[in-house]
Structure 1
Amino acid sequence: MTITLALVLVTVAVSLLAWQAPRLQAALIYWPPGVARGQWWRLVSHGFIHADGTHLLFNMITLYFFGSVMELVLTPRIGALGFLLFYLAGLLVAILPTHLRHRHDRDYRSLGASGAVAAMLFAYILLRPWSLLFVFFIPVPAILFAAAYVIYSWRGHRRGGDGVNHSAHLWGGAWGVAFMLWLQPALAGRFWDELLAPLGG
Protein backbone atom coordinates (compact mmCIF):
# COMPACT_ATOMS: atom_id res chain seq x y z
CA MET A 1 0.00 0.00 0.00
CA THR A 2 1.31 3.45 -0.88
CA ILE A 3 1.63 6.24 1.71
CA THR A 4 -0.87 8.31 -0.27
CA LEU A 5 -3.51 5.58 -0.25
CA ALA A 6 -2.90 4.98 3.46
CA LEU A 7 -3.41 8.70 4.17
CA VAL A 8 -6.65 8.67 2.18
CA LEU A 9 -7.98 5.60 3.99
CA VAL A 10 -7.03 6.87 7.44
CA THR A 11 -8.53 10.30 6.75
CA VAL A 12 -11.78 8.79 5.45
CA ALA A 13 -12.01 6.45 8.43
CA VAL A 14 -11.33 9.17 11.03
CA SER A 15 -13.73 11.59 9.33
CA LEU A 16 -16.52 8.99 9.29
CA LEU A 17 -15.91 8.16 12.94
CA ALA A 18 -15.90 11.83 13.90
CA TRP A 19 -19.29 12.38 12.22
CA GLN A 20 -20.70 9.67 14.46
CA ALA A 21 -18.84 10.81 17.58
CA PRO A 22 -18.98 14.59 18.13
CA ARG A 23 -16.63 14.29 21.11
CA LEU A 24 -13.95 12.83 18.83
CA GLN A 25 -14.41 15.67 16.35
CA ALA A 26 -14.20 18.19 19.20
CA ALA A 27 -10.94 16.60 20.37
CA LEU A 28 -9.30 16.70 16.92
CA ILE A 29 -10.50 19.98 15.42
CA TYR A 30 -8.23 23.04 15.39
CA TRP A 31 -9.43 25.18 18.30
CA PRO A 32 -7.13 27.97 19.57
CA PRO A 33 -7.87 27.62 23.32
CA GLY A 34 -7.15 23.90 23.08
CA VAL A 35 -3.74 24.55 21.53
CA ALA A 36 -3.05 27.17 24.22
CA ARG A 37 -3.73 24.49 26.85
CA GLY A 38 -1.05 22.23 25.39
CA GLN A 39 -3.19 20.23 22.97
CA TRP A 40 -0.61 20.66 20.21
CA TRP A 41 -1.91 17.70 18.25
CA ARG A 42 -4.78 19.88 17.04
CA LEU A 43 -2.31 21.66 14.73
CA VAL A 44 -2.14 18.41 12.72
CA SER A 45 -5.17 16.33 13.73
CA HIS A 46 -7.58 18.87 12.20
CA GLY A 47 -6.45 17.55 8.81
CA PHE A 48 -7.97 14.11 9.45
CA ILE A 49 -11.56 15.32 9.94
CA HIS A 50 -13.91 17.04 7.51
CA ALA A 51 -17.10 19.06 7.61
CA ASP A 52 -19.16 16.86 5.30
CA GLY A 53 -19.05 14.33 2.47
CA THR A 54 -18.38 16.88 -0.27
CA HIS A 55 -15.48 18.40 1.67
CA LEU A 56 -14.00 14.94 2.30
CA LEU A 57 -14.54 13.67 -1.24
CA PHE A 58 -12.99 16.69 -2.94
CA ASN A 59 -9.91 16.65 -0.70
CA MET A 60 -9.36 12.90 -0.93
CA ILE A 61 -9.74 12.71 -4.72
CA THR A 62 -7.26 15.57 -5.11
CA LEU A 63 -4.88 14.02 -2.58
CA TYR A 64 -5.01 10.61 -4.25
CA PHE A 65 -4.27 11.79 -7.78
CA PHE A 66 -1.61 14.40 -7.03
CA GLY A 67 -0.22 12.72 -3.93
CA SER A 68 0.34 9.51 -5.88
CA VAL A 69 2.44 11.38 -8.44
CA MET A 70 4.39 13.32 -5.83
CA GLU A 71 5.03 10.16 -3.84
CA LEU A 72 6.70 8.60 -6.90
CA VAL A 73 8.76 11.77 -7.36
CA LEU A 74 9.75 12.33 -3.73
CA THR A 75 10.16 8.86 -2.22
CA PRO A 76 13.42 8.10 -4.08
CA ARG A 77 14.85 11.36 -2.66
CA ILE A 78 13.47 11.48 0.89
CA GLY A 79 12.03 8.02 1.52
CA ALA A 80 8.53 6.96 2.54
CA LEU A 81 8.88 8.50 5.99
CA GLY A 82 10.10 11.75 4.46
CA PHE A 83 7.07 11.85 2.17
CA LEU A 84 4.73 11.28 5.11
CA LEU A 85 6.44 14.07 7.05
CA PHE A 86 6.12 16.36 4.02
CA TYR A 87 2.36 15.82 4.11
CA LEU A 88 2.04 16.26 7.88
CA ALA A 89 4.22 19.37 7.74
CA GLY A 90 1.81 20.72 5.14
CA LEU A 91 -1.01 20.49 7.69
CA LEU A 92 1.13 22.23 10.30
CA VAL A 93 2.55 25.00 8.09
CA ALA A 94 -0.89 25.73 6.62
CA ILE A 95 -2.54 26.21 10.03
CA LEU A 96 0.20 28.21 11.79
CA PRO A 97 -0.70 31.62 10.25
CA THR A 98 -4.32 30.90 11.19
CA HIS A 99 -3.22 30.12 14.73
CA LEU A 100 -1.29 33.38 15.01
CA ARG A 101 -4.30 35.31 13.76
CA HIS A 102 -6.97 33.56 15.84
CA ARG A 103 -5.05 32.38 18.91
CA HIS A 104 -7.28 34.42 21.25
CA ASP A 105 -10.56 33.59 19.47
CA ARG A 106 -12.55 31.04 21.49
CA ASP A 107 -15.17 30.75 18.76
CA TYR A 108 -12.81 29.91 15.88
CA ARG A 109 -12.45 26.37 14.55
CA SER A 110 -10.89 24.87 11.44
CA LEU A 111 -10.83 21.37 9.98
CA GLY A 112 -9.89 19.57 6.79
CA ALA A 113 -6.83 18.40 4.87
CA SER A 114 -6.92 21.27 2.37
CA GLY A 115 -3.58 22.77 3.43
CA ALA A 116 -1.60 19.56 2.89
CA VAL A 117 -3.59 18.75 -0.26
CA ALA A 118 -2.70 22.20 -1.64
CA ALA A 119 0.95 21.42 -0.89
CA MET A 120 0.73 18.29 -3.07
CA LEU A 121 -1.14 20.13 -5.81
CA PHE A 122 1.26 23.06 -6.04
CA ALA A 123 4.33 20.82 -5.84
CA TYR A 124 2.92 18.98 -8.85
CA ILE A 125 2.18 22.23 -10.71
CA LEU A 126 5.77 23.34 -10.14
CA LEU A 127 6.92 20.19 -11.95
CA ARG A 128 4.32 20.22 -14.75
CA PRO A 129 2.86 23.71 -15.16
CA TRP A 130 1.21 23.03 -18.52
CA SER A 131 -0.31 19.66 -17.73
CA LEU A 132 -4.09 19.61 -17.97
CA LEU A 133 -6.21 19.44 -14.84
CA PHE A 134 -9.84 18.52 -15.26
CA VAL A 135 -11.94 20.99 -13.26
CA PHE A 136 -15.57 19.89 -13.36
CA PHE A 137 -14.62 17.85 -16.46
CA ILE A 138 -13.17 20.93 -18.21
CA PRO A 139 -9.45 20.71 -19.11
CA VAL A 140 -7.51 23.63 -17.64
CA PRO A 141 -3.71 24.16 -17.83
CA ALA A 142 -2.27 23.61 -14.35
CA ILE A 143 -0.55 27.00 -14.19
CA LEU A 144 -3.79 28.83 -15.02
CA PHE A 145 -5.63 26.82 -12.40
CA ALA A 146 -2.92 27.72 -9.88
CA ALA A 147 -3.25 31.42 -10.66
CA ALA A 148 -7.05 31.30 -10.34
CA TYR A 149 -6.79 29.26 -7.13
CA VAL A 150 -4.42 31.78 -5.53
CA ILE A 151 -6.57 34.75 -6.55
CA TYR A 152 -9.74 33.06 -5.31
CA SER A 153 -8.13 32.04 -2.01
CA TRP A 154 -6.58 35.47 -1.42
CA ARG A 155 -9.84 37.27 -2.10
CA GLY A 156 -11.72 34.79 0.07
CA HIS A 157 -9.20 35.29 2.86
CA ARG A 158 -9.51 39.07 2.68
CA ARG A 159 -13.30 38.98 2.50
CA GLY A 160 -13.87 36.24 5.11
CA GLY A 161 -17.25 35.17 6.41
CA ASP A 162 -17.73 32.05 4.25
CA GLY A 163 -16.52 29.51 6.81
CA VAL A 164 -13.58 28.44 4.65
CA ASN A 165 -9.98 28.73 5.86
CA HIS A 166 -8.56 30.22 2.66
CA SER A 167 -5.32 31.08 4.46
CA ALA A 168 -4.59 27.35 4.87
CA HIS A 169 -4.92 26.87 1.11
CA LEU A 170 -2.44 29.65 0.38
CA TRP A 171 0.14 28.63 2.97
CA GLY A 172 -0.21 24.95 2.12
CA GLY A 173 0.47 25.68 -1.54
CA ALA A 174 3.41 27.88 -0.59
CA TRP A 175 4.83 25.05 1.54
CA GLY A 176 4.64 22.61 -1.38
CA VAL A 177 6.53 24.98 -3.68
CA ALA A 178 9.07 26.00 -1.03
CA PHE A 179 9.86 22.40 -0.09
CA MET A 180 10.40 21.38 -3.70
CA LEU A 181 12.70 24.35 -4.34
CA TRP A 182 14.64 23.61 -1.16
CA LEU A 183 15.02 19.99 -2.21
CA GLN A 184 16.05 20.87 -5.78
CA PRO A 185 16.80 24.59 -6.35
CA ALA A 186 17.28 23.97 -10.09
CA LEU A 187 13.51 23.47 -10.33
CA ALA A 188 13.09 27.25 -10.37
CA GLY A 189 14.91 27.53 -13.70
CA ARG A 190 13.22 24.42 -15.07
CA PHE A 191 9.80 25.81 -14.13
CA TRP A 192 10.55 29.07 -15.91
CA ASP A 193 11.69 27.23 -19.03
CA GLU A 194 8.54 25.07 -18.97
CA LEU A 195 6.41 28.17 -18.51
CA LEU A 196 7.92 29.88 -21.56
CA ALA A 197 8.02 26.81 -23.79
CA PRO A 198 4.43 27.08 -25.14
CA LEU A 199 5.09 30.75 -25.85
CA GLY A 200 8.15 29.94 -27.96
CA GLY A 201 10.59 30.78 -25.16
Structure 2
Amino acid sequence: MRRIPTITKNLLIINVLAFLMMYALRTVSFSGAGPVDLNDIFGLHFFMAPDFRLYQLVTYMFMHASLEHIFFNMFALWMFGMVVENVWGPKKFLFYYIACGIGAGLFQEAAQFCSFYLTVASQYPSLSLAQLPEVARHLGDALNSWTTVGASGAVYAILLAFGMTFPNERLFIIPIPIPIKAKWFVMIYAGIELFSAMSTTNDNVAHLAHLGGMVVGFFLIRYWRSHPGAGYDRSGGQQFFDNLKRRWDNRAHRNEFGHTGTQSNGNAYNNRQQDWDYNRREREDQAEVDLILDKIRKSGYDSLTAEEKRKLFDSSKRH
Protein backbone atom coordinates (compact mmCIF):
# COMPACT_ATOMS: atom_id res chain seq x y z
CA MET A 1 0.00 0.00 0.00
CA ARG A 2 1.31 3.42 -0.90
CA ARG A 3 2.26 5.75 1.89
CA ILE A 4 -0.68 7.90 2.97
CA PRO A 5 0.22 11.61 2.59
CA THR A 6 0.28 13.86 5.65
CA ILE A 7 -3.04 15.74 5.44
CA THR A 8 -5.09 12.72 4.39
CA LYS A 9 -3.56 10.64 7.18
CA ASN A 10 -4.20 13.32 9.82
CA LEU A 11 -7.79 13.83 8.65
CA LEU A 12 -8.40 10.09 8.96
CA ILE A 13 -6.91 10.03 12.46
CA ILE A 14 -8.87 13.08 13.68
CA ASN A 15 -12.18 11.73 12.36
CA VAL A 16 -11.67 8.29 13.90
CA LEU A 17 -10.58 9.71 17.27
CA ALA A 18 -13.55 12.11 17.31
CA PHE A 19 -15.93 9.23 16.57
CA LEU A 20 -14.47 7.03 19.31
CA MET A 21 -14.65 9.88 21.82
CA MET A 22 -18.23 10.68 20.81
CA TYR A 23 -19.23 7.05 21.23
CA ALA A 24 -17.46 6.69 24.59
CA LEU A 25 -18.90 9.85 26.13
CA ARG A 26 -22.38 9.04 24.87
CA THR A 27 -22.42 5.74 26.77
CA VAL A 28 -20.89 6.95 30.04
CA SER A 29 -22.85 8.74 32.77
CA PHE A 30 -20.96 11.24 34.89
CA SER A 31 -21.77 11.94 38.55
CA GLY A 32 -24.50 14.52 38.77
CA ALA A 33 -25.03 14.65 35.01
CA GLY A 34 -26.02 12.44 32.12
CA PRO A 35 -23.93 11.31 29.13
CA VAL A 36 -22.32 13.95 26.90
CA ASP A 37 -23.32 14.04 23.23
CA LEU A 38 -20.43 15.54 21.25
CA ASN A 39 -22.53 15.49 18.08
CA ASP A 40 -24.92 17.89 19.80
CA ILE A 41 -22.03 20.18 20.78
CA PHE A 42 -19.92 20.09 17.62
CA GLY A 43 -22.56 19.14 15.06
CA LEU A 44 -23.95 21.88 12.83
CA HIS A 45 -27.25 23.24 14.17
CA PHE A 46 -29.73 25.28 12.17
CA PHE A 47 -28.55 28.90 12.40
CA MET A 48 -31.85 30.06 13.93
CA ALA A 49 -31.70 27.42 16.68
CA PRO A 50 -30.51 28.40 20.19
CA ASP A 51 -27.64 25.87 20.12
CA PHE A 52 -26.09 27.15 16.89
CA ARG A 53 -22.45 28.30 17.13
CA LEU A 54 -20.32 29.65 14.30
CA TYR A 55 -17.47 27.17 14.94
CA GLN A 56 -19.86 24.33 14.14
CA LEU A 57 -19.40 25.09 10.42
CA VAL A 58 -15.94 23.54 10.81
CA THR A 59 -16.35 21.01 13.62
CA TYR A 60 -19.42 19.28 12.16
CA MET A 61 -17.35 17.71 9.37
CA PHE A 62 -15.28 15.76 11.93
CA MET A 63 -18.31 14.21 13.66
CA HIS A 64 -20.29 11.18 12.45
CA ALA A 65 -23.57 9.55 13.38
CA SER A 66 -22.74 5.84 13.05
CA LEU A 67 -20.03 3.32 12.27
CA GLU A 68 -21.36 2.87 8.74
CA HIS A 69 -21.38 6.65 8.25
CA ILE A 70 -17.73 7.15 9.20
CA PHE A 71 -16.53 3.97 7.45
CA PHE A 72 -17.75 4.95 3.99
CA ASN A 73 -16.61 8.57 4.37
CA MET A 74 -13.12 7.58 5.53
CA PHE A 75 -12.80 4.88 2.89
CA ALA A 76 -13.56 7.41 0.14
CA LEU A 77 -11.22 9.97 1.74
CA TRP A 78 -8.41 7.41 1.84
CA MET A 79 -9.00 6.11 -1.69
CA PHE A 80 -9.36 9.44 -3.50
CA GLY A 81 -7.84 11.94 -1.06
CA MET A 82 -4.35 10.44 -1.08
CA VAL A 83 -4.21 10.68 -4.88
CA VAL A 84 -5.46 14.27 -5.02
CA GLU A 85 -3.14 15.38 -2.21
CA ASN A 86 -0.11 13.83 -3.93
CA VAL A 87 -0.90 15.84 -7.06
CA TRP A 88 -1.94 19.11 -5.43
CA GLY A 89 0.27 19.19 -2.37
CA PRO A 90 -0.80 19.43 1.32
CA LYS A 91 -1.61 23.16 1.56
CA LYS A 92 -3.90 23.29 -1.44
CA PHE A 93 -5.54 19.99 -0.51
CA LEU A 94 -6.28 21.08 3.08
CA PHE A 95 -7.64 24.47 1.97
CA TYR A 96 -9.88 22.74 -0.58
CA TYR A 97 -11.15 20.19 1.95
CA ILE A 98 -12.02 22.74 4.64
CA ALA A 99 -13.47 25.30 2.19
CA CYS A 100 -15.72 22.71 0.56
CA GLY A 101 -16.78 21.36 3.95
CA ILE A 102 -17.79 24.87 5.06
CA GLY A 103 -19.55 25.44 1.74
CA ALA A 104 -21.48 22.20 2.18
CA GLY A 105 -22.57 23.36 5.65
CA LEU A 106 -23.80 26.67 4.25
CA PHE A 107 -25.81 24.87 1.58
CA GLN A 108 -27.38 22.73 4.30
CA GLU A 109 -28.22 25.84 6.33
CA ALA A 110 -29.90 27.40 3.28
CA ALA A 111 -31.89 24.22 2.68
CA GLN A 112 -33.04 24.12 6.30
CA PHE A 113 -34.03 27.78 6.18
CA CYS A 114 -36.19 27.18 3.09
CA SER A 115 -37.77 24.15 4.74
CA PHE A 116 -38.47 26.08 7.94
CA TYR A 117 -39.98 29.05 6.11
CA LEU A 118 -42.18 26.90 3.86
CA THR A 119 -43.41 24.86 6.82
CA VAL A 120 -44.31 27.91 8.89
CA ALA A 121 -45.78 29.78 5.90
CA SER A 122 -48.07 26.85 5.14
CA GLN A 123 -49.60 27.31 8.62
CA TYR A 124 -49.54 31.11 8.61
CA PRO A 125 -49.80 32.40 5.02
CA SER A 126 -49.53 36.05 6.08
CA LEU A 127 -46.22 35.50 7.90
CA SER A 128 -43.36 37.78 6.82
CA LEU A 129 -39.62 37.01 6.87
CA ALA A 130 -39.14 39.59 9.62
CA GLN A 131 -41.37 37.52 11.91
CA LEU A 132 -39.38 34.29 11.45
CA PRO A 133 -36.86 34.94 14.29
CA GLU A 134 -39.72 35.30 16.77
CA VAL A 135 -41.30 32.05 15.59
CA ALA A 136 -37.88 30.35 15.78
CA ARG A 137 -37.48 31.52 19.38
CA HIS A 138 -40.68 29.77 20.37
CA LEU A 139 -39.69 26.60 18.50
CA GLY A 140 -36.14 26.52 19.85
CA ASP A 141 -36.22 22.97 21.24
CA ALA A 142 -37.54 21.55 17.98
CA LEU A 143 -35.03 23.47 15.86
CA ASN A 144 -32.14 22.25 18.02
CA SER A 145 -32.82 18.75 16.69
CA TRP A 146 -31.90 19.91 13.17
CA THR A 147 -28.28 18.84 13.45
CA THR A 148 -25.91 17.93 10.61
CA VAL A 149 -22.75 15.84 11.09
CA GLY A 150 -20.27 14.16 8.78
CA ALA A 151 -17.44 14.75 6.32
CA SER A 152 -19.61 13.82 3.35
CA GLY A 153 -19.71 17.32 1.84
CA ALA A 154 -15.91 17.60 1.84
CA VAL A 155 -15.49 13.98 0.69
CA TYR A 156 -17.85 14.49 -2.24
CA ALA A 157 -15.73 17.52 -3.19
CA ILE A 158 -12.61 15.29 -3.12
CA LEU A 159 -14.44 12.83 -5.36
CA LEU A 160 -15.19 15.68 -7.77
CA ALA A 161 -11.53 16.80 -7.69
CA PHE A 162 -10.40 13.29 -8.61
CA GLY A 163 -12.88 13.13 -11.47
CA MET A 164 -11.83 16.53 -12.83
CA THR A 165 -8.11 15.80 -12.46
CA PHE A 166 -8.20 12.26 -13.86
CA PRO A 167 -11.40 12.25 -15.95
CA ASN A 168 -10.48 9.24 -18.07
CA GLU A 169 -9.11 7.00 -15.32
CA ARG A 170 -11.16 3.82 -15.10
CA LEU A 171 -12.67 2.72 -11.79
CA PHE A 172 -14.22 -0.58 -10.75
CA ILE A 173 -17.38 0.24 -8.80
CA ILE A 174 -19.50 -2.47 -7.17
CA PRO A 175 -21.99 -3.64 -8.44
CA ILE A 176 -21.17 -2.30 -11.95
CA PRO A 177 -19.47 -5.25 -13.74
CA ILE A 178 -17.32 -3.12 -16.06
CA PRO A 179 -14.82 -0.31 -15.38
CA ILE A 180 -16.23 3.20 -15.63
CA LYS A 181 -14.39 6.45 -16.32
CA ALA A 182 -13.99 8.74 -13.32
CA LYS A 183 -15.86 11.62 -14.98
CA TRP A 184 -18.96 9.46 -15.52
CA PHE A 185 -18.69 8.08 -12.00
CA VAL A 186 -18.76 11.62 -10.58
CA MET A 187 -21.67 12.64 -12.80
CA ILE A 188 -23.68 9.59 -11.74
CA TYR A 189 -23.08 10.33 -8.05
CA ALA A 190 -24.01 13.99 -8.52
CA GLY A 191 -27.18 12.96 -10.35
CA ILE A 192 -28.17 10.56 -7.57
CA GLU A 193 -27.67 13.28 -4.95
CA LEU A 194 -29.68 15.80 -6.98
CA PHE A 195 -32.53 13.33 -7.45
CA SER A 196 -32.46 12.43 -3.74
CA ALA A 197 -32.46 16.10 -2.73
CA MET A 198 -35.54 16.75 -4.86
CA SER A 199 -37.35 13.70 -3.49
CA THR A 200 -40.04 14.23 -0.87
CA THR A 201 -38.85 11.20 1.10
CA ASN A 202 -37.02 12.13 4.31
CA ASP A 203 -34.05 9.75 4.68
CA ASN A 204 -32.13 11.91 7.20
CA VAL A 205 -29.28 12.39 4.68
CA ALA A 206 -28.02 15.90 3.89
CA HIS A 207 -28.09 15.53 0.10
CA LEU A 208 -27.88 19.28 -0.50
CA ALA A 209 -24.77 19.42 1.68
CA HIS A 210 -23.18 16.80 -0.56
CA LEU A 211 -24.10 18.79 -3.65
CA GLY A 212 -22.94 21.98 -1.95
CA GLY A 213 -19.48 20.54 -1.37
CA MET A 214 -19.25 19.55 -5.03
CA VAL A 215 -20.47 22.95 -6.23
CA VAL A 216 -17.90 24.83 -4.13
CA GLY A 217 -15.20 22.40 -5.27
CA PHE A 218 -16.15 22.84 -8.93
CA PHE A 219 -15.81 26.61 -8.81
CA LEU A 220 -12.55 26.43 -6.83
CA ILE A 221 -11.00 24.11 -9.40
CA ARG A 222 -12.24 26.22 -12.30
CA TYR A 223 -10.78 29.34 -10.66
CA TRP A 224 -7.39 27.70 -10.08
CA ARG A 225 -7.32 26.48 -13.68
CA SER A 226 -8.07 29.93 -15.08
CA HIS A 227 -5.57 31.60 -12.69
CA PRO A 228 -2.52 29.28 -12.69
CA GLY A 229 -0.44 31.72 -10.65
CA ALA A 230 -3.06 32.25 -7.96
CA GLY A 231 -3.76 30.44 -4.71
CA TYR A 232 -1.72 27.37 -3.88
CA ASP A 233 -0.92 26.10 -7.37
CA ARG A 234 2.82 26.65 -7.29
CA SER A 235 3.47 25.66 -3.69
CA GLY A 236 0.81 22.97 -3.74
CA GLY A 237 0.10 21.15 -6.98
CA GLN A 238 3.55 21.63 -8.44
CA GLN A 239 5.30 20.76 -5.19
CA PHE A 240 4.82 17.05 -5.79
CA PHE A 241 6.43 17.22 -9.21
CA ASP A 242 9.18 19.63 -8.11
CA ASN A 243 10.13 17.26 -5.30
CA LEU A 244 10.20 14.40 -7.76
CA LYS A 245 12.53 16.33 -10.07
CA ARG A 246 14.79 17.27 -7.14
CA ARG A 247 15.10 13.61 -6.14
CA TRP A 248 16.08 12.79 -9.71
CA ASP A 249 18.76 15.50 -9.67
CA ASN A 250 20.18 14.30 -6.34
CA ARG A 251 20.20 10.69 -7.49
CA ALA A 252 22.05 11.56 -10.69
CA HIS A 253 24.58 13.63 -8.75
CA ARG A 254 25.29 10.76 -6.36
CA ASN A 255 25.66 8.29 -9.20
CA GLU A 256 28.14 10.51 -11.01
CA PHE A 257 30.37 11.43 -8.07
CA GLY A 258 29.52 9.07 -5.22
CA HIS A 259 30.88 5.66 -6.26
CA THR A 260 33.97 4.92 -4.12
CA GLY A 261 35.80 1.92 -2.75
CA THR A 262 38.83 -0.29 -3.36
CA GLN A 263 38.72 -2.47 -6.46
CA SER A 264 41.08 -4.98 -7.93
CA ASN A 265 42.82 -4.00 -11.16
CA GLY A 266 41.15 -6.86 -13.01
CA ASN A 267 37.60 -5.62 -12.26
CA ALA A 268 38.18 -1.85 -12.25
CA TYR A 269 37.61 -1.32 -15.95
CA ASN A 270 34.45 -3.42 -16.10
CA ASN A 271 33.00 -1.70 -13.03
CA ARG A 272 33.77 1.74 -14.42
CA GLN A 273 32.19 0.75 -17.74
CA GLN A 274 29.05 -0.44 -15.92
CA ASP A 275 28.96 2.82 -13.95
CA TRP A 276 29.23 4.86 -17.15
CA ASP A 277 26.42 2.86 -18.78
CA TYR A 278 24.27 3.17 -15.66
CA ASN A 279 24.86 6.92 -15.40
CA ARG A 280 24.08 7.36 -19.09
CA ARG A 281 20.74 5.56 -18.68
CA GLU A 282 19.98 7.63 -15.58
CA ARG A 283 20.72 10.87 -17.44
CA GLU A 284 18.49 9.78 -20.33
CA ASP A 285 15.66 8.89 -17.94
CA GLN A 286 16.12 12.17 -16.10
CA ALA A 287 15.94 14.12 -19.35
CA GLU A 288 12.62 12.40 -20.18
CA VAL A 289 11.21 13.18 -16.72
CA ASP A 290 12.34 16.82 -17.03
CA LEU A 291 10.44 17.13 -20.31
CA ILE A 292 7.32 15.60 -18.72
CA LEU A 293 7.51 17.96 -15.74
CA ASP A 294 7.93 20.96 -18.05
CA LYS A 295 4.85 19.82 -19.97
CA ILE A 296 2.87 19.62 -16.71
CA ARG A 297 3.93 23.14 -15.74
CA LYS A 298 2.85 24.50 -19.13
CA SER A 299 -0.30 22.50 -19.87
CA GLY A 300 -1.27 20.63 -16.69
CA TYR A 301 -1.31 16.97 -15.74
CA ASP A 302 -4.26 16.17 -18.01
CA SER A 303 -2.17 16.98 -21.09
CA LEU A 304 0.09 13.94 -20.53
CA THR A 305 -0.23 10.83 -22.66
CA ALA A 306 -0.76 7.44 -21.07
CA GLU A 307 2.89 6.57 -21.70
CA GLU A 308 4.08 9.80 -20.07
CA LYS A 309 1.91 9.16 -17.02
CA ARG A 310 3.32 5.63 -16.76
CA LYS A 311 6.88 6.97 -17.04
CA LEU A 312 6.25 9.52 -14.28
CA PHE A 313 4.61 6.94 -12.03
CA ASP A 314 7.46 4.44 -12.54
CA SER A 315 10.06 7.08 -11.74
CA SER A 316 8.28 8.05 -8.50
CA LYS A 317 8.32 4.40 -7.36
CA ARG A 318 12.06 4.08 -8.00
CA HIS A 319 12.88 7.29 -6.17
TM-score, normalization by structure 1: 0.82
Which position in structure 2 is the counterpart of 1:182? 223
Specify every segment of 5 or more residues in structure 2 that has no aligned partner in the other structure, as ranges: 27-36, 117-141, 229-298, 305-319
8 Å CA contact 1:19–1:25 kept in 2: the answer is no
After superposition, what is the alpha-carbon deviation per residue over 1:95-134, rounded to whole angstroms, capped at 9, x for unaligned? Answer: 1021123245703221110110111110110011121223
* Separation in structure 1 between the aligned mates of residue 227 and residue 186 of structure 2, nearest angstrom: 21
1:24 CA displacement: 1.6
Higher alpha-carbon Rg: 2
Residue 173 of structure 2 is aligned to residue 131 of structure 1: no
The 3-state SS of whatever aligns with 1:163 is coil
Specify every segment of 5 or more residues in structure 1 that has no aligned partner in the other structure, as ranges: 195-201
The 1:129/1:57 distance shift into structure 2, 3 A limit, reads same
Map of 1:18-167 to 2, 5 A cutoff? 18-22=22-26, 23-33=37-47, 39-75=53-89, 80-103=90-113, 106=143, 107-136=145-174, 138=176, 139-159=179-199, 160-167=201-208
The 1:148/1:193 distance shift into structure 2, 3 A limit, reads farther
* Separation in structure 2 between the aligned mates of residue 2 and residue 190 of structure 1, nearest angstrom: 23
By relative contact order (CA 8 Å, sep 6+), the higher-ranking structure is: 1
**Please, which moves more after superposition, 90-99 or 172-181?**
172-181
Count of aligned positions: 189
8 Å CA contact 1:29–1:49 kept in 2: the answer is yes
Which position in structure 2 is the counterpart of 1:198? none
- RMSD over aligned Cα, in angstroms? 2.7
The 3-state SS of whatever aligns with 2:211 is helix
Which position in structure 2 is the counterpart of 1:169? 210
After superposition, what is the alpha-carbon deviation per residue over 1:32-66, rounded to whole angstroms, capped at 9, x for unaligned? Answer: 15776661111121111111111111111111121
8 Å CA contact 2:101–2:154 kept in 1: the answer is yes
The 1:146/1:18 distance shift into structure 2, 3 A limit, reads same
8 Å CA contact 1:63–1:117 kept in 2: the answer is yes
The 1:191/1:176 distance shift into structure 2, 3 A limit, reads farther
The 1:56/1:154 distance shift into structure 2, 3 A limit, reads same
**Please, which moves more after superposition, 87-96 or 64-73?**
64-73
